[in-house]
A and B are shown apart, each in its own frame.
Chain A
């Protein structure tokens, strides 16, 4: 393969993954809502309703408060861009993606942190008390999830010997001498799942469907937004959910992913990927109906549990190996 062909293939694959992320994420959000509705014995809105919502929002004119600064208008773009980039770092339907070289776990965590940081500032920017409250709560949750997330992925990284997500997924998919012990993986999976719930603002940490401002965490920061800004922010949060689901699916159970770049493997990889994230979305929807939202200072307990589980995963790796 010549250099030009390689570069062309790289660009095509990256654009393909970006396209998949952008188009599938509203459907995932819709799927979660549909599952919840079914459990609540309602018919619920269609799975594709979020697309219509996004289209509607893009057509409307945004209203921006005069007391805000450049952060307010820049944040939707920053959050959208950082989440999309983070999504490109996580293998979705192919394990050897072009942005391989940058696909480090730490880069992932800090891309998310970048988006969260700006969102927190934007919540404060409009000067409304609800925004400030949401920002401070989000700061608590974010500061507690970060160590748990890093620890749990490190527990997996130790088994494969690299912090590069592509390498981890690729090696696990090819079963290259890693499946020694499921125990560290089990602990890390439990920890990462709790972290995913916390970072994407799902029950039991935060209720995404609430209308009561005093119970909001993520939504409170978005209260002042409207029009295309709100559309970008909603899309970004949908993508964040999708990225976390891809992370969980592909790091712990990557079999089916395309390890070679043939069209056949890629299509199978895409199909398997969609099935996996859809089932994880159903699981999340079910869990949202099983548990009640925790009070804020109980959230710290839950995230403490996640951290300890991740720590145990690391410990088990060192000790159960002998």
Chain B
């Protein structure tokens, strides 16, 4: 390890990476343009890969490098490209009406961050010193992704919210346990990729059938 990279500074850098991830979450929920959401998601995945690589470097766990590389490949390059193509084909760019408006969503997300910290308080002292707080931030990102899914209408945004949840989970896995066993990581990536592709196909079909991808229009099935 480099001499100035003491464990103390290492912890701060990992915290910084996690904070940047959380920042991009808030940026996604404050966005009104779909293509900006996709770009922010790609940026978030990039920060995630960098944080994971940093953890790998600081702890000497090489298999996290593979996961970080996979993150870059799948979530920074492939999935945003798929989503961008979907957005182009659908010709929707704006989120015209939101279920919950931006300032209220932001306040609720702030509250969710606090709830996440509160929930993980009892288990944080057990963690590795390097990445303790990242577990709380990871849960916060999962909750914010979950909330985004409820608060936004467009099918593409719901997909992005799901992918944000997966990012949070990956951060949690890296932070809490220095990554899952490699086969599980591979499986998760595969699932996420296939889910994104399926969602892309779905939005095309939804567009054909409903002439819109507004999930508020998906209300024909009732009790």
* A–B contact, 8 Å CB criterion (strictly below): yes
Nearest to A303 among chain B residues (CB) is B103
* B110 lies within 8 A of chain A by Cβ: yes
B106 within 8 Å of A (CB atoms): yes
Give the docked Cα–Cα distance between A305 and B16 (Å).
Answer: 19
B99 nearest CB across to chain A (Å): 15
Interface string of B91-111 (1 = CB under 8 A from A): 000000000001100110110
Q: A311-B110, A319-B117, A319-B136 are in contact. Are A187 and B23 (CB under 8 A)?
A: yes
A184's nearest neighbour on chain B, judged by CB, is: B19
Taking CB atoms, residues of chain A closer than 8 Å to B18 are 183
Taking the complex as formed, is A308 at the interface, i.e. its CB lies under 8 A from any CB of chain B? yes
The interface residues of chain B lying within 8 Å CB-to-CB of A298 are 32
Residues of A within 8 A of B133 (CB): 319-320
B15 interface residue (CB < 8 Å to A): yes
Given A312-B113, A319-B117, A186 contacting B106 (CB threshold 8 A): no
A316 at interface, CB cutoff 8 A: yes
- The answer to whether A181 touches B15 (Cβ under 8 A) is yes
* Known interface pairs A181-B12, A300-B103, A301-B30; A308-B19 also in contact (CB < 8 Å): no
Least Cβ distance of B213 to chain A in Å? 23
- CB pair B15–A301 under 8 Å, yes or no, is no
Number of interface residues, chain A, beta carbon within 8 A: 22
B22 within 8 A of A: yes
B175 to chain A, nearest CB (A): 13
Tell me whether A182 is interfacial, beta carbon within 8 Å.
yes
- Interface pair B102/A308, CB less than 8 Å apart: no
Distance to closest chain B CB from A180 (angstroms): 7
Interface residues of A in 153-201 (CB under 8 A from B): 179-183, 186-187, 190
Contact A316 B19 (CB under 8 A): yes
A182's nearest neighbour on chain B, judged by CB, is B16
Inter-chain CA distance A190–B106, complex, in Å, is 15
In the bound assembly, the distance between CA atoms of A261 and B129 in angstroms comes to 42
Known interface pairs A301-B30, A301-B103; A312-B22 also in contact (CB < 8 Å): yes
Q: Across the interface, which residues of A come within 8 angstroms of B26, CB to CB?
A: 305, 308-309, 312
B119 within 8 A of A: no
Chain B residues contacting A179 (CB-CB under 8 Å) are 12
Do A182 and B15 touch (CB < 8 A)? yes
Partner of A190, one of B23, B110, B113, B117: B23
Counting CB contacts under 8 A, is B192 at the interface?
no
Residue A315 interfacial (CB < 8 Å): yes
Q: From DSSP, what is the main secondary structure of chain A's interface residues?
A: helix
Residues A186 and B107 in contact, CB atoms below 8 Å apart: no
Q: Is B114 an interface residue (CB 8 A)?
A: yes
Bound state CA distance, A304 and B114, in angstroms? 17
B20 at interface by CB-CB < 8 Å: yes
Asked whether B19 lies within 8 Å of A180 as measured between CB atoms, the reply is no
- A181 vs B26: C-alpha distance when bound (angstroms): 20
Q: Which residues of B are found within 8 Å of A308, using beta-carbon distances?
A: 26, 106-107, 109-110
How far, in whole Å, are A194 and B107 apart by their CA atoms in the complex?
Answer: 17
Report Cα–Cα, A186/B23, bound state, in Å.
10
- Alpha-carbon separation in the docked complex, A114 to B168 (Å): 44
| CB contact list, A284-307 vs B, under 8 A | 298, 300-301, 304-305, 307
A189 to B19, CA, bound (A): 13
Q: How far is the CA of A190 from the CA of B23 in the complex (A)?
A: 10
Tell me which residues across on chain B come within 8 A of A300, comparing CB atoms: 103
Among B22, B102, B106, B136, the most chain A Cβ lie within 10 Å of the Cβ of: B106
A309 to B24 Cα, complex, angstroms: 11
Residues of A within 8 A of B117 (CB): 315, 319
Residues of B within 8 A of A319 (CB): 117, 133, 136
**Beyond A181-B12, A186-B16, A186-B23, 14 additional pairs, beta carbon < 8 A:** A183-B15, A298-B32, A301-B103, A304-B102, A305-B27, A308-B107, A308-B109, A309-B23, A309-B26, A311-B110, A312-B22, A312-B110, A315-B117, A320-B15
Q: Nearest 5 A-B pairs (CB), nearest first?
A: A304-B103, A183-B19, A301-B102, A308-B106, A182-B16
A-B contact pairs, 25 of them (CB 8 A): A181-B15, A181-B16, A182-B12, A182-B19, A183-B15, A183-B16, A183-B19, A186-B19, A186-B20, A186-B23, A300-B103, A301-B103, A304-B103, A304-B107, A305-B106, A308-B26, A308-B106, A308-B107, A308-B110, A309-B23, A309-B26, A315-B110, A315-B117, A319-B117, A319-B136
